[in-house]
Structure 1
Amino acid sequence: MRVEPITPALLVDRLVARIDGIGPDRTRVLLDGAPPARPEQLATALADPLRARGRPVVVVHAADFLRPASLRLEYGRRDPDSYYDGWLDAAGLVREVLAPLGPDGSGRYLPTLWDVDADRATRARYRAAPAGAVLLLEGDLLLGRGLPAELTVHLDVSPAVLARRLDPDAAWTLDAYRRYAEEVAPRGTADVAVRYDDPDHPALIVG
């Protein structure tokens, strides 16, 4: 394995070129990273350059597709195995977003599904994504679930940096990220892996 240091701007340029080069059909991109990597910021950075190339962009946050508290917190509020296995409503994401926004999908998708704070459905209305749209789905622990996508990007944060930068109230999730690294090996699973200990100085992980 080797790393290629690049600038944040060059990272965006390369990802935009790769996404656009997949083809003119709807394209699903998973942006996977633990909270300190802030994958939502990368989604924001990619959106305007893609639109400048004539590609409509849909940004969806995995945090808006969590399961109800009765299922999510069945084993307590701080169970790392539940966080790893049971918080994300992967089936809902596929049904409401990833399948309809696939190359052969209807284009009719749901932008949000579950309001975690209110613990109820968001009652969001369905939207229509035009032909050629790019879906940027951002969140953590996305890989290894069989979520369909044309491109997967993993923002890799080392265990030491993750432990240091993670919100102290979320320190209990560290065991979930250890499992993720061991069982999914996202650096090797993702189509594009980026060392992201310092977002101002990213590096592509090659090989």
Structure 2
Amino acid sequence: MSTAAGVQPPTIYRLFGDKQGLLDAVVAQGFAAYLADKTAAEPTGDPVEDLRAGWDLHVGLGLANPALYRLMYGQQPSGASSPAALAAFDVLAGHVRRIAEAGRLRIPEERAAALVHAAGSGTTLALIATPEDARDPELSRTAREAVLAAITTDAPAAPGPGPAAAAVTLRAVLPRTDALTASESALMREWLDRIADRTR
């Protein structure tokens, strides 16, 4: 690696710490470059549609750069996620937060983001592992729509008279208010999470 970079091995270790640090830096750079090339569009007025587009972008990243994707989502020696995977999850969480703020999220934010992440990365890895000529072109779309149906509503209102969807929405916008003290906000979050997590 140091020969290809035109530097001495100690320079690599000084800059990146170890081989894993170097790989993390390579993946982060590749991920950032891909996003810069693909995400020029501003968010639309429909956060669900933005999440749909984000799913397609994520799968497209994996299929266009399978080696990069495997490095992003492969097992780290420490068991932790790669920095690039964490950055990708932050983007996903932002999409889910906007859906919650619009009153269109059925389930708590954390669970919704985890579900989309698990389904999206699993679908992408499954497609990567399948020979290109044997891939089902509808697999990603079908998985995407099943997940969106599970976590979102069609309109910015609760599908029934229950308080769960309202609690999800209020939980999402709670950081915008300064009317509560820190301890009151923590208690309010706990109550809203409990309401949102009840089976309707």
TM-score range (shorter-chain normalised) is under 0.3
Q: Which has the higher strand share?
A: 1
Q: Which has the higher helix share?
A: 2
Structure with greater contact order relative to length (CA < 8 Å, sep ≥ 6): 1
For normalisation by structure 2, the TM-score amounts to 0.26
